[in-house]
Amino acid sequence: MSSSLIPILEKNKHSFHPVVPFDAVTDRLLQMDFTEANKSLTKEVIEDVAKFSTYVDQQLSDANALYGIGGYAEHRTVYSRSNVFDASDGGEPRRLHLGTDIWGKAGTPVFAALGGMVHSFKFNNRYGDYGATIVLLHQLESAAFYTLYGHVNLKDLALVEGQYINRGQEFAHFGEPHENGHWPPHLHFQIISDIELNEGDYPGVCRMSDKSFYLKNCPDADLILQMNQFL
């Protein structure tokens, strides 16, 4: 489990390749808030993909930022836009985000932070879901773990399970809304210790009552991204 994975990731943090193009000297990042505390993110905005995309673009432009960053362990109101996150029995909905989102332009390249094999991939084509999704399997020292890349380009799924992806290899790109689950362009990046029997998919959002299990199984994605230090 991630209790042993975290120190290994921390020990190897200087060896990870950037997941997206970013120059800490010249590029700015913007911390984005998708909780109920953000009053500018109204129901009208989050339920209209075009308006939501315009909102994100404007936030980045106003801050002169290349990417918007955030979301790990964030309790988000935006998931009310899709019944994907509702319980079938009308019970507690899923609202706690388990990865880090990098908001930016469609087509932004995505690189492997470290070498790994293609575990699985899938087009999760429901409104509000991941859309095109890739999962890589890594072995680092004594730890086997997974990284998930959600909301990518549908053409990026031209892969073969078991295919090796080299460290620093460009293997995906931010998808357009019609292929990324109908979200503004961004990458959902998540570390997963035990993916169980899931293929091309894993919960990126959980119920608050399941918080302890999922945050343990999905440690902070910034352990690999290392972008929060530049916010």
The CATH number covering residue 134 comes to: 2.70.70.10
Residue 67 three-state SS: strand
Q: Please state the pTM of the whole predicted model.
A: 0.95
Domain of 214 in residue numbering reads as 2-230
- List the chain residues with pLDDT less than 50: 1
How does DSSP assign 158-217, residue by residue?
---TT-EE-TT-EEEEBPPGGGTTS-SSEEEEEEES--TT-SS---SEE-GGGHHHHHHH
Return all residues near 100 (Cβ < 8 A) that are at least 6 apart.
69, 70, 71, 72, 188, 189, 190, 220, 221, 222, 225, 227
User: How is residue 141 written in tokens?
Assistant: 């020292």
Provide the pLDDT for residue 3.
59
Residue 112 three-state SS: coil
The CA–CA distances, whole Å, from 93 to 37, 161, 211 equal 19, 32, 12
Which tens digits make up the pLDDT trace of 131-187? 999 999 999 998 999 999 999 999 999 999 999 999 999 999 999 999 999 999 999
Provide the pLDDT for residue 1.
47
Look at residues 165, 208, 172 and name the one whose alpha carbon lies nearest to residue 189. 172
Provide the pLDDT for residue 98.
97
Number of domains, the chain = 1
